[in-house]
Structure 1
């Protein structure tokens, strides 16, 4: 799977406003666009890709199904709706957005596999699964999960998840990689950035990249989009990595009432 190191997130960019933002990101060089049925912008994302002039096979497109649509028939219907809105022949990565407490996990995985086998989904993945859910999906059911998306930034410990995925050679994609803007003003990240002629946000993205983690920051202004891309040229040294390791790692900012039990073994 050819997953770019840095993608472009579109959370909280509903409707037509999203189209110009995504067109800007594509023009600057982004080649992974992340959307979801919940974001209410799949049509705008599809239009942006179509009008960018970039060949479809050069854009890695991710979308996701919401947790109330995980029954096999509902998941299939949700995918058809997403594909129709995106107006593409296939998506590169189709993911379960959040798990549901009452989901039939084997049924969910089989429904994803059926979509992959149809050729309209190149790869399947999951977001926000805790460790027991991942072990069942991957170790017990043997599902060929191609990527796992989770909240990850310098203020949250995800070492257990990351070590597990590394052992399986499954890429991790970090959402909220800038801790919903908090990374940009962190004094430790700012100090490290000053050493490298970089911003604190760029340091946070470089920190993820150097762990082999892809990231999907969102940015509406072209200047911010470019600044995030420029993080690809920032290289942190061991002293920097150790300083970031000492930051508090207990801050999870995405915690909806339907979230799973994160610390489940």
Structure 2
């Protein structure tokens, strides 16, 4: 699945105006989830926008209480009702927990795709072993959404994405704001006359095949995050960030 380098993560977004302004600024990938409890907000913002629906990739995620085989389709339909859409472009299994069973959940999600309720099926927060099993039960993994930032990432997940030709969708690219005070990232930002946030997003996007979905609410931050994809770090700058000896996982299993 082809996705723009920077999309809009909407966890915590509760105002449709943010979504409408993001689309006006140039965003073409909106990411929500059932557990965010804001699919209605995202749908309203999309409906209020002048951007054609077919130009926007809309993604949502099935929560762990909606993964039983007989729950997948009705839960998806409820998400579509909240989004006021006939179909989403990308439907994720949010976490392989709760009612998740690869032998029954994944075929049920594939059935939703074949029924036209989503164009593609993605996974989120799977570890390498869980990914290996998922490949046996899905026609194709369209995207894998995981936590990825200068303090956290799994090279094995990148390797699988490269091998099978799908993008990694990186959430929390700023490590919950932790990178903004990092001395290495701040020094690079000062040298480049830009912000630490831009440097972190650029670092994330420098990893093939990674795209990212930072959350932002203000018009200034929306524009800044989108523009960060245009910042090209040097190999030396990327290596300096790679060498930061700190591990922070915001959303462990």
TM-score range, shorter chain: over 0.9
Deviation at 1:101, TM superposition (A): 5.5
SS in 2 for 1:72: coil
Aligned pair count reads: 252
Give the alignment partner of residue 96 of structure 1, picking from 88, 93, 97: 93
Matched residue, 2:194: 198
**Aligned-pair RMSD on alpha carbons?**
1.3
CA distance in 2 between partners of 1:2 and 1:35 (Å): 18
Deviation at 1:38, TM superposition (A): 0.8
CA distance in 2 between partners of 1:224 and 1:185 (Å): 17
Matched residue, 2:3: 3
Deviation at 1:157, TM superposition (A): 3.2
Matched residue, 2:111: 114
CA distance in 2 between partners of 1:241 and 1:114 (Å): 42
Q: Given that residues 33 and 59 in structure 1 are in contact (C-alpha distance below 8 angstroms), is that contact kept between their aligned partners in structure 2?
A: yes
**Residues 76-95 of structure 1: matches in 2 within 5 Å?**
76-95=73-92
Residues 146 and 3 (structure 1), Cα distance of their counterparts in 2 relative to 1, 3 Å cut = same
**Residues 1-265 of structure 1: matches in 2 within 5 Å?**
1-13=1-13, 17-100=14-97, 103-138=100-135, 140-212=136-208, 213-255=210-252, 259=253
Deviation at 1:239, TM superposition (A): 0.8
Structure 2 unaligned spans of 5+? none
Q: Given that residues 89 and 118 in structure 2 are in contact (C-alpha distance below 8 angstroms), is that contact kept between their aligned partners in structure 1?
A: yes
CA distance in 2 between partners of 1:103 and 1:233 (Å): 38
Deviation at 1:163, TM superposition (A): 1.4
SS in 2 for 1:91: coil
CA distance in 2 between partners of 1:124 and 1:61 (Å): 12
Q: Given that residues 2 and 167 in structure 2 are in contact (C-alpha distance below 8 angstroms), is that contact kept between their aligned partners in structure 1?
A: no
CA distance in 2 between partners of 1:245 and 1:112 (Å): 36
Deviation at 1:175, TM superposition (A): 0.6
Deviation at 1:8, TM superposition (A): 0.2
Structure 1 unaligned spans of 5+? 260-265
